A and B are shown apart, each in its own frame.
Chain A
Amino acid sequence: MSTVTEKLEGMDVWIYHGQIYIPNRYSAGAVGSRFLIEIRDKKRIMGTRCPTCNRVYVPARSICKDCFGQLDELVEVSDKGTVLTYTVCNQPNPVQPVETPLVYGIVQLDGADTGFVHMLGEVDPEQLRIGMRVQAVFKEEREASILAIKYFKPLA
Chain B
Amino acid sequence: MPNRVAIVGIGQTYHTTRRPDVNQPEMVAEAVRAALADAQLSIKDIEAVFSANMETFEGIFLPDHGMAAEIGAFNKPGFKVNTGGTTGGSAVVEGFYMVSSGLYDVAMVVGFEKQDCGDTTAAISAAATPMWGKGAATGAIGEFAKQALSYMETSGATEEHAAMVRLKADRNACRNPYAHLKLGLKSVDEVLQSPYLVWPLRILDFCPQSCGACVLILASENKAKKITKKPVWIADVEVVHQEPFRAGVFGDPTGKETYTQHVACERLYKRNGITNPRRDIDTAEIYEPSNWEEMNLYEHFHFCEKGEGWKLIEKGITEIEGEFPVNCSGGVLATNPIGATPIIRVAEAALQIRGDAGEHQATRDIKTALASALGGPNWTILTLLKRSL
Residue contact A2 to B118, C-beta cutoff 8 Å? no
Within 8 A of B (CB), among A26-43: 26-30, 32
Residue contact B119 to A2, C-beta cutoff 8 Å? no
List of B residues within 8 angstroms of A16 by Cβ: 130-131, 134
Contact with A along B105-147 (1 / 0, CB 8 A): 0000000001011110011001110110111000000000000
List of B residues within 8 angstroms of A95 by Cβ: none
A-B contact count (CB 8 A): 85
Residue contact B58 to A26, C-beta cutoff 8 Å? yes
Residue contact A3 to B21, C-beta cutoff 8 Å? no
Interface locus among B4-12, B23-31, B148-156, B279-287: B23-31
B198 at the interface (CB under 8 A from A): no
Chain A interface residue bracket vs B: 20 to 34
Residue contact A27 to B116, C-beta cutoff 8 Å? yes
Within 8 A of B (CB), among A1-53: 1-3, 16, 18, 20-30, 32
Closest chain A residue, CB of each to CB of B25: A63
Instruction: Tell me, rounded to whole Å, the shortest Cβ–Cβ distance linking A65 to chain B.
Output: 4
Residue contact B26 to A24, C-beta cutoff 8 Å? no
CA distance A61 to B58 in the complex (A): 20
Interface locus among B66-74, B236-244, B376-384: B66-74
CA distance A24 to B134 in the complex (A): 20
**Residue in B69, B123, B128 whose beta carbon sits within 8 Å of that of A61 in the complex:** B69
Name the residue in B23, B42, B127, B130 with the highest tally of chain A Cβ atoms < 10 Å from its Cβ: B23
A83 at the interface (CB under 8 A from B): no
Contact with B along A55-73 (1 / 0, CB 8 A): 0000001111111100000
**If A63-B70, A66-B74 touch, does A22 touch B135 (CB 8 Å cutoff)?**
no
CA distance A23 to B131 in the complex (A): 23
Contact with A along B37-64 (1 / 0, CB 8 A): 0000011000000000000101110000
Instruction: Tell me, rounded to whole Å, the shortest Cβ–Cβ distance linking A35 to chain B.
Output: 11
Tally of chain B residues near chain A (CB < 8 A): 37
B255 at the interface (CB under 8 A from A): no
CA distance A96 to B61 in the complex (A): 17
**Residue in A1, A20, A21, A67 whose beta carbon sits within 8 Å of that of B135 in the complex:** A1
Residue contact A29 to B22, C-beta cutoff 8 Å? yes
Instruction: Tell me, rounded to whole Å, the shortest Cβ–Cβ distance linking B24 to chain A.
Output: 8
**If A18-B134, A63-B26 touch, does A23 touch B74 (CB 8 Å cutoff)?**
no
CA distance A68 to B35 in the complex (A): 13
Residue contact A63 to B29, C-beta cutoff 8 Å? yes
Residue contact A20 to B25, C-beta cutoff 8 Å? no
Instruction: Tell me, rounded to whole Å, the shortest Cβ–Cβ distance linking A134 to chain B.
Output: 25
Residue contact B118 to A27, C-beta cutoff 8 Å? no
CA distance A64 to B69 in the complex (A): 6
Name the residue in A30, A61, A63 with the highest tally of chain B Cβ atoms < 10 Å from its Cβ: A63
List of A residues within 8 angstroms of B22 by Cβ: 27, 29-30
Instruction: Tell me, rounded to whole Å, the shortest Cβ–Cβ distance linking A59 to chain B.
Output: 11
Instruction: Tell me, rounded to whole Å, the shortest Cβ–Cβ distance linking A23 to chain B.
Output: 5
Within 8 A of B (CB), among A85-133: none
Residue contact B21 to A22, C-beta cutoff 8 Å? no
Residue contact B135 to A24, C-beta cutoff 8 Å? no
CA distance A28 to B19 in the complex (A): 11
B2 at the interface (CB under 8 A from A): no
Residue contact A65 to B134, C-beta cutoff 8 Å? no
* 9 A-B contact pairs sorted by A residue (CB < 8 Å): A16-B131, A23-B122, A25-B59, A26-B59, A27-B22, A62-B29, A62-B70, A68-B69, A68-B72
Residues of B within 8 A of A (CB): 19-26, 29, 32-33, 42-43, 56, 58-60, 68-70, 72, 74, 114, 116-119, 122-123, 126-128, 130-131, 133-135
Known pairs A20-B127, A63-B29. 6 more at Cβ < 8 A? A2-B134, A21-B122, A22-B126, A62-B25, A65-B69, A68-B33
